[in-house]
């Protein structure tokens, strides 16, 4: 064996080791999210919404892997919405899914023309596009016995949404890992909620998924979400771990130390004064600067 062949073999071994480590980490995080929020139960039919992007590919791949050894029995069906975007390679996803033996369905609905007709040129299309997609997917779920709708949103998506709502919506709200739809008919789950985007990006690269870019809205550069993504990236560069801390805060909420009277009963605190009863989350105020 030549030196060049030896170096190539060593590189392949290292790449294989790194991939296996990444795969185990993502599987563990997805498993933890599913367990923490009881996302999947025995007998569930899970619809994985497959857009053709890295996140939904990774979600389908990891769920399919976990399904083999899961403590509960559940079925998976991959569903893609063909929005009739010009140049969309409609053969890619069916070919990929058939090669892997994954049950799937393609919904064909021309939402592209609707969005282009309704939204003025230069304005953000994501709002209308997502509503139309959601309607089509919910309808399929209702008609086909789907009990859980799995989306590929990851930890960074959740944080970006939190700051979008904070800075532009005036609300403390993000993407929950598990959600009941507005009509109370569907349970939406986000098994990648604990996974970092950079890990998913690397996983998708190593798995060589046949990614399909979104030319309708993904190419718009004026989205506020891109500003949030850049902000988080800058923080990660200069303050490693800050995003982890913020995400942890979303799981550790103290309503008595915020200011929403609809969430915490500030009006009747007097009734608790000098009693042995205290609100469960009402720890003494702490000035972290004095610690």
Q: CA-CA distance, 116 to 141, in Å (whole number)?
A: 26
The mean pLDDT of 76-95, rounded to a whole number, is 90
Q: Contact, 32 vs 194, CB < 8 A?
A: yes
User: How confident is the model over 110-150, as pLDDT tens digits?
Assistant: 777 777 777 666 666 666 677 888 888 999 999 999 999 99
Query: Could you tell me the pLDDT band of residue 63, with boundaries at 50, 70 and 90?
Result: very high
pTM of this prediction?
0.86
The residue with greater pLDDT, 285 or 120, is 120
Q: What is the pLDDT of residue 115?
A: 73
Q: CA-CA distance, 154 to 199, in Å (whole number)?
A: 10
Alpha carbon dihedral 196, 200, 205, 206, in 10-degree steps, equals 100
Q: CA-CA distance, 50 to 90, in Å (whole number)?
A: 13
User: How confident is the model over 206-243, as pLDDT tens digits?
Assistant: 999 999 876 555 444 447 888 999 999 999 999 999 99
List of residues 6+ apart from 21 with CB closer than 8 A = none
Q: CA-CA distance, 38 to 172, in Å (whole number)?
A: 24
Q: Contact, 155 vs 163, CB < 8 A?
A: no
290 pLDDT higher than 50: no
**Average pLDDT for the chain:** 87
Assigned token pair, 190: 């986000």
Domains annotated on the chain, with CATH: 10-250 (3.40.50.620), 256-290 (no CATH)
């Amino acid at each position: 064996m030549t030196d060049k062949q030896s170096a190539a073999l060593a590189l392949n071994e290292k790449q294989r080791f790194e991939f296996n480590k990444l795969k185990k980490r993502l599987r563990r995080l997805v498993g933890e999210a599913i367990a923490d929020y009881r996302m999947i139960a025995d007998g569930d039919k899970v619809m994985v919404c497959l857009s053709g992007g890295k996140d939904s590919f990774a979600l389908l791949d990891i769920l399919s892997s976990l399904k083999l050894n899961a403590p509960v029995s559940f079925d998976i069906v991959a569903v893609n919405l063909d929005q009739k975007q010009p140049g969309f390679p409609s053969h890619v996803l069916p070919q990929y899914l058939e090669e892997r033996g994954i049950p799937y369905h393609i919904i064909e609905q021309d939402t592209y023309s609707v969005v282009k007709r309704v939204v003025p040129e230069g304005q953000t299309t994501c709002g209308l596009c997502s509503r139309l997609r959601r309607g089509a997917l919910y309808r399929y779920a209702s008609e086909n016995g789907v009990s859980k709708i799995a989306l590929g949103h990851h930890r960074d998506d959740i944080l970006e949404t939190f700051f979008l709502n904070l800075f532009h919506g005036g609300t403390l709200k993000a993407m929950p890992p598990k959600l009941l739809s507005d009509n109370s008919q569907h349970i939406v789950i986000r098994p990648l909620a604990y996974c970092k985007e950079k890990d998913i990006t690397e996983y998708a690269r190593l798995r060589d998924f046949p990614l399909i870019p979104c030319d309708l809205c993904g190419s718009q550069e004026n989205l506020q979400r891109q500003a949030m993504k850049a902000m988080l990236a800058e923080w990660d560069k200069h303050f490693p771990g800050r995003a982890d801390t913020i995400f942890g805060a979303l799981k550790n909420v103290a309503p008595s130390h915020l200011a929403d009277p609809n969430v915490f009963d500030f009006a009747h605190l007097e009734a608790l004064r000098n009693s042995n009863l205290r609100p469960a989350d009402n720890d003494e105020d702490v000035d972290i600067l004095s610690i």
